[in-house]
Structure 1
């Protein structure tokens, strides 16, 4: 009798332990390595698997062929720094005060209290490494601003913004907080070289890792080996160099993929390739017919070519058409690890796991994209593109951002009209009223969460000129008259 009781008790304890272990989405052995590769200013139609017939991108295409292509994937913003903040923190970047790209010597940065992808992974025992264009700090030399190691990365090699003076032999990389000086080679090659060296150097290779590779390519100023440039000479200097630059980045991605294959890491990893925003309006850049370019909240400005591979989950060359966004990465990580959020700050995304596992996505609030002059939301097939009322020069710009209202609306059905040709505000009044309420609800929600900056360089020079015609051409911020510096400096 006692023996049976002990056996029953033991079985009960085992069953309870099994249930508790099941509370996490993954066990220690199942945790995938996570690799996120991101291009800079790459258009929706600039790779082969998204329709480009000129640029050779066999390695990105192979990732899509082995894995899954996402046709409705959106960046966090139509410009670089806010988009990166959106991915890293899971929040529309205006909540974080990252309004546009962060210029040098700016007070703007991704605030330290924001919980990042790397911090979530570190909580789960991951090694974390970052390589490439950080774009989330105003000054690499300013120790009061959080660098990648303060945001959860064990090891990093990064630039503040773009590779300088070009992608060839860049001089502006910092390694774990120390300036490197000139590094021989090309930016994407340097990023991949150092990523592989870091992976080789890890002491405990049984631990999972987060590897973030944010390439500088194909953002200008472009440079790549001559063999790639010659291949596209017939397309002219501007377009040809762009094609060559993307081809070379793809070649370096191939080196990274070969490393993962050789070290039997590919099938233990969730691998993503994407872009931070759409392309500039220059020769050779393609959105595959989508309206808008970098800086615009029309689809071409922030719908980005995205492919993922994850053995058993994202494979087989399938296509997923569900709208997803950079903000969804953070909630997905929490869901993957069975974690509660590490902060009470509102998130603007949802877990992608249901879509990855072939189920329906549960998105209660539509994602919101806010920019300096306009904003957008997408709700199912419908999208509102909204324009803010004008800013009055000489008043507090930050107060304007926090209180401004929408002045004009456009409404599009993205399934019937993916290129946003037909504004349906007048034809679909009932839908428009519903979307108008949604976009204003999201606007007020974000504005209530915004915090002020105390310092200079809140807006880059060229963005400041959008709002004040009297700013003299060629002037730098610190030389502007005091009354104009409110564009960069908050007024109490």
Structure 2
């Protein structure tokens, strides 16, 4: 099946616009990790983020104050970024645990299936160079051990990326390379204990043996990622080839660790050690955003580059993170779990700054890219995102297409889990148990940002309409799971189908 999907993709991607390489924009999608809606300065955050502030107020930026992650935790959102589809459709139920475990069939280990068509594949087939540097979190790179050798690997090169250096999942925001820890100067002196040892990997030509980054990586992780991104962008600019760069940072996921220099800035302001590490890591990432924008300007490709910045979910509960008055946090479908910082800068298309409350979600990337390139879908699989190109062009004022979330399903559609849907104004949240709605709530997001007042009894018509929409979407997700074939006990054959 995967081979058939790719054949269809190759054929139908020939139906593209007559735009030349010079006309087609470069696209950068940079994504923070666990960055809350209130963690940035322009949303009353305590961390200094001058570069994000500057980008947010650029005359060529739309600041998305209702930007949503596709899921309330890491892996689900990463799946939606790449596929344009809700993560439950292909069994990426939650944060990918992976690793060597005797319980390798548990739902949390599900990798991104090869049958899914990614934005990187679409762009590569359209003549783009594609690269990813940072956190993958959609499967293991190495064959598992302890009787689990049959479990499939899933790395960026299998999903459309020409160049990549990635970690399998979460890592500290500073000095994360395994080879680093034997070097005293690398540790910067303020670890209570060494962070989890995590390396960057790649496959040479996406085949052969797994290759580890050969050197120690002292200092801030986002600055290391910038060195990889800078080299790649300069090469593409020199060759005048359009590119897609996916840059998923580890900041500010636990363990959030700032360099001594960054940490000291906040300790001098009488913040706690934990706050100093948290805010310092964010400020370091902010520096990289500034360096990226300066690089694009230096190379004279900024005007023709769509730069999309976002976060993968809300701030972690009981951390220094902030949701700035929203309800909930990471792992929940309330706004604090899924409404995150987001903005898009694109000088060739956006000519005046705008602070927008138009709902945008991470799954909008792929359909937007298809619209920009004039590429038609290769099949009729459900796509949950929409093209926001008309919105960026100033031609769309209302989304007119609901956004959906589902979490805690773990493959058991008769179990207890949560679903929600949001439109331009109202949001309905529902808890399912044994296939039926156990309870539900209706909120007016335009007038009740903190989701404090349940309106289902006052507005029953709207509540029932949205509840029916959720039920229809739930059925669609179940159909997708059946088609992908990823819901089998111990059956991993779907991955290569």
Q: What interval of TM-score do these two structures reach, taking the shorter chain for normalisation? A: 0.7 to 0.9
Match of 2:439?
408
Q: Structure 1 residue 98 and structure 2 residue 92: aligned?
A: yes
Deviation per CA, 1:249-291, whole angstroms, max 9, x where unpaired? 1112222222222212211200011100000012421111000
Which aligned pairs between 1:168-187 and structure 2 lie closer than 5 A? Answer: 168-171=175-178, 172-176=199-203, 177-180=210-213, 183-185=216-218, 186-187=220-221
Q: TM-score, normalised by structure 1?
A: 0.81
Of residues 436-445 and 212-221 in structure 1, the stretch that sits farther from structure 2 once superposed is: 436-445
User: For each residue in 1:307-336, what CA deviation from the matched residue of structure 2 results, as whole angstroms up to 9, or x when unmatched?
Assistant: 111013224331122111111111111111
Q: 1:279 aligns with which of 298, 312, 315?
A: 315
Q: Is the 8 A contact 2:26 2:242 kept in 1?
A: yes
> What secondary structure sits across from 2:247 in the alignment?
strand
| Contact 2:237/2:301, CA 8 A, preserved across alignment | no
- Give structure 1 stretches of 5+ with no counterpart: 1-20, 391-403, 459-492
1:441 aligns with 2:467: no
Would you say 1:123 and 2:159 are equivalent positions? no
Instruction: Work out the CA distance in 2 between the residues paired with 1:343 and 1:279.
Output: 36
Match of 1:32 in 2: 25
Distance 1:130 1:23, change over 3 A: closer
2:159 aligns to what SS in structure 1?
coil
- Equivalent position of 1:268 in the other structure: 304
Corresponding residue number in structure 2 for 1:18: none
Note if contact 2:73-2:312 (Cα within 8 Å) is conserved in structure 1. yes
Mapped to 2, the partners of 1:270 and 1:49 lie a distance apart of 21
Counterpart among 28, 43, 48 of residue 50 in structure 1: 43
- 1:218 counterpart = 2:252: yes
The offset of 1:112, in angstroms, is 0.9
Q: 1:407/1:457 Cα in 2 relative to 1: closer, same or farther (>3 Å)?
A: farther
Q: 1:434 to 1:454 in 2, by over 3 A?
A: closer
Matches within 5 A, 1:245-264: 245-264=281-300
Other structure's SS at 1:383 match: strand
Q: Is the 8 A contact 1:96 1:111 kept in 2?
A: yes
DSSP-derived class of the 2:97 partner: coil
* Corresponding residue of 2:329: 293
Where 1:258 maps in the other structure, the secondary structure is helix
Alpha-carbon displacement from aligned partner over 1:57-85 (angstroms, at most 9, x marks no partner): 11111111111201111111000000010
Please give the secondary structure, in 2, of the residue aligned with 1:267: coil
CA contact (8 A) 2:358 2:399 kept: no
Residues 456 and 57 (structure 1), Cα distance of their counterparts in 2 relative to 1, 3 Å cut: farther
- Tell me the equivalent position of 1:110: 112
Matched position secondary structure for 2:292: helix
Aligned pairs for 1:97-246 within 5 A:
97-105=91-99, 107-141=109-143, 144-163=152-171, 167-171=174-178, 172-176=199-203, 177-180=210-213, 183-185=216-218, 186-202=220-236, 205-233=239-267, 234-246=270-282
Give the Å deviation of 1:240: 2.4
Query: Which residue is 1:381 aligned to?
Result: 425
Q: Per-residue deviation at 1:49?
A: 2.1
Distance 1:210 1:29 in 2: 14
SS in 1 for 2:158: coil
Larger Rg: 1
Is contact 1:389-1:407 (8 Å) kept? yes
Task: Look up the match of 2:56.
Answer: 64
Q: CA deviation at 1:456?
A: 6.3
Tell me how many residue pairs correspond in the alignment. Answer: 423
Higher RCO by CA contacts (8 Å cutoff, separation 6 or greater): 2
Does the 8 A contact of 1:370 with 1:376 survive in 2? yes
- Cα offset for 1:29? 1.9
**Secondary structure at the residue paired with 1:406?**
strand
Structure 2, unpaired ranges of 5+: 1-13, 145-150, 179-198, 204-209, 409-416, 493-497
SS at match of 2:463: helix
C-alpha separation in 1, matches of 2:143 and 2:130: 22
Are the equivalent residues in 1 in contact too, given 2:400–2:423 (CA < 8 A)? Answer: no
SS at match of 1:348: coil
Query: CA deviation digits over 1:413-442, x for unaligned, max 9?
Result: 111111100011111112111111111111
Q: Could you tell me how far 1:205 is from its partner in structure 2?
A: 1.8
Q: CA RMSD of the aligned region, Å? A: 2.3
Change (3 A) 1:319 1:140: farther
CA separation of 1:417 and 1:26: change in aligned 2, threshold 3 A: farther
Distance (Å, rounded) in 1 between the aligned partners of 2:455 and 2:37: 25
